[in-house]
Amino acid sequence: MRKRYPSSFKAQIVLEILKEEKTISQLASEHGIHPTQLHRWKAQAIENMPYSFSDGAKNLESLKASYEKQTEDLYAEIGRLTTKLSWLKKKGVRVD
């Protein structure tokens, strides 16, 4: 079974690696993680670092707000159509 580490833990380890106060081998033995894994985390952090300075986070928030607005509008439309259907059924209009 694979061990899963929280992203906050990974970030903490990568910060320690970037400080260069200890070698990757020392950090690996301290935390019981294979050095290759630490190299991967470091590479991933460096690769994704430009995104933390971009407007990606703002775009994500914008997409989320847009999605929530669309969902709200759709639920409102469902409510209106359900009300119309009930009204038509009460009036005896055949609805198939």
DSSP string, 71-91: HHHHHHHHHHHHHHHHHHHHT
How many CA atoms lie within 13 Å of 29's alpha carbon, on the beta-carbon side? 4
Q: What is the pTM of this model?
A: 0.55
pLDDT value at position 84?
95
Rounded Cα distance between 44 and 52, Å, is: 13
- Give the model confidence (pLDDT) of 10-19 as tens digits: 999 999 999 9
Cα–Cα distance measured from residue 39 to residue 14, given in angstroms and rounded to the nearest whole number: 9
Domain positions in the chain are: 1-54, 57-96
HSE (side-chain half, CA atoms, 13 Å) at 17: 23
pLDDT tens, residue by residue, 3-48? 899 999 999 999 999 999 999 999 999 999 999 999 999 999 999 8
